Structure 1
């Protein structure tokens, strides 16, 4: 594929920087309760550096059993495998929209976003293009071309993707339309599962990261700086959103540590990873000194922590950081 133009890379930085500047006043503190700390992470290192000029801005991550990371490259429209020893291999490239994606909401270029890996080996990816023929949920199978299995509104931005392995339902956050969609893994017509006001943006991006945990869908809101828990009711109905943490403007994707409801979350513009405890208090555990460059997502495999940085505004070093979670059983 051809490399994204320098115009696209520059647009990413300019749009994101302007939006984040609006979201974060000069005198704001990124997290209401954050304090710098060595935290629960050790052996912190940058495991892989990506190619900014090729649009390798890592947006989301899913982990395989052997430690391989499945990564979406937002501006590259790609899914890559990053091996445990740091080698990057492109596994799929999503088709380019005929108009170049100029009508993609907010950013004006097509981008690959959320990704999950199902137990049967199927990979699901979200794609936003601003066009009705391509925007939606895509399925990747070995040896086959990517296939769209669910169309989503062209004027939205499908972003976070979560799988309920028990029910076989996928949940999709739309950061522009303030909606959570649900669709079975077989595909089909999505259902608007929740349009609660807590999901709406305040001008840039609203509902963002998504994970199924403890009988609920947990969702972040980037603009509002919140972490929400939405109960999954019988019949796959959405319950009333419960606020679990706030004061984290720029919060993107996140992962549960395996310690109850404790979370590690990426704060994009503030360049931080925070630990959110079950009572909603937050502590900074990684920052720019550790090599963060606009972190977008976090994943855990046992005690191993993976953090993606997309360098949206720093435009310096998109990377994959790895660390070890202390005290993990």
Structure 2
């Protein structure tokens, strides 16, 4: 979620790896431990990591929002640029005013899908083939919106995009084509007097689509009905002011690790809605934007949007229990 970064050389008015699995943890151990930063990025070049998808080898595919790039970062911190989204003449993205690459999702065959927000007809979901090549727009989304988080449901063959400005969860087939407004409502909207960022992070999990709302500080669950329509929006956690994207600690449990970018924290959100901080600025976080979990490894990209001395980076830690 890009917000108010001061990128050298970029005019922006935005409101924004290899820890091995350990033996079973005791009840006295923290849920997350052993944090370390494995890669640092170039803030002045727009390498502000916004979202993350994991590869089978444990490397991370990151969207660099203001560089319009997708990069791959190994568990040892080696960085390789995968693709750059095409430049757009006179971008007019709401809140951000620049062309930015935001959410990312990965299919099992290695295909990547990303949200590209430009304020033009190029706004939408773009596909990147498993072995690279030129990215291709497969879904058009409203240019007056800000498609932020992106989630893939391969079982149903659909993509979900959370629009932070319009307060909509868009749904579209993975093959591309027509989008539909799958879920709408006040719970997804930004607060009128807030930052302008409503629905932000999004995940498909255990028969539902989960969405964070940055302005409202909420984590929402939207059941997917039998025929694919959206059920009633449920508030599963509140008082998470500044929440960005998030990840579940296991496939079937409802425990979440959420990036809280405004306070440089990652919080654990329990199934009963209670939450507590597990990682902080002292661990290396600087405006974290998203979280990914694989086995016992936690990945946290930080975009460093607000920092006096910016240090965009990728941190990893060990997940001791879920």
Candidates 276, 285, 290, aligned match of 1:297 = 290
Give the aligned CA root-mean-square deviation in angstroms. 1.6
Candidates 233, 239, 243, aligned match of 1:247 = 239
Q: CA deviation at 1:242?
A: 0.4
Q: CA deviation at 1:5?
A: 6.8
Candidates 276, 282, 304, aligned match of 2:269 = 276
| Higher percent of residues as helix | 1
Tell me what 2:256 maps to. 263
Q: CA deviation at 1:144?
A: 2.1
Candidates 127, 141, 148, aligned match of 2:137 = 148
Q: CA deviation at 1:155?
A: 0.4
How many pairs are equivalent? 300
Secondary structure of 2:282 counterpart: helix
Separation in 2 of the partners of 1:58 and 1:317?
11
Q: Does 2:129 match 1:129? A: no
Q: CA deviation at 1:195?
A: 1.1
What TM-score do you get using the length of structure 1 for normalisation? Answer: 0.88
Secondary structure of 1:297 counterpart: coil
Separation in 1 of the partners of 2:86 and 2:29?
43
Q: CA deviation at 1:143?
A: 4.1
Contact 1:206 1:222 in 2 (8 A): yes
Q: Does 2:207 match 1:219? A: no
Contact 1:123 1:140 in 2 (8 A): yes
Separation in 1 of the partners of 2:235 and 2:7?
40
Q: CA deviation at 1:84?
A: 1.5
Tell me what 1:51 maps to. 42
Q: Does 2:224 match 1:232? A: yes
Tell me what 1:81 maps to. 72
What TM-score do you get using the length of structure 2 for normalisation? Answer: 0.90
For residues 256-276 of structure 1, the C-alpha deviation after alignment (integer angstroms, 9 at most, x for no partner) is: 001610000000111110000
Gaps of 5+ in 2: 1-5, 17-27
For residues 282-329 of structure 1, the C-alpha deviation after alignment (integer angstroms, 9 at most, x for no partner) is: 01000111111000000011000000100011151000000000136x
Q: Does 2:10 match 1:8? A: yes
Separation in 1 of the partners of 2:225 and 2:50?
30
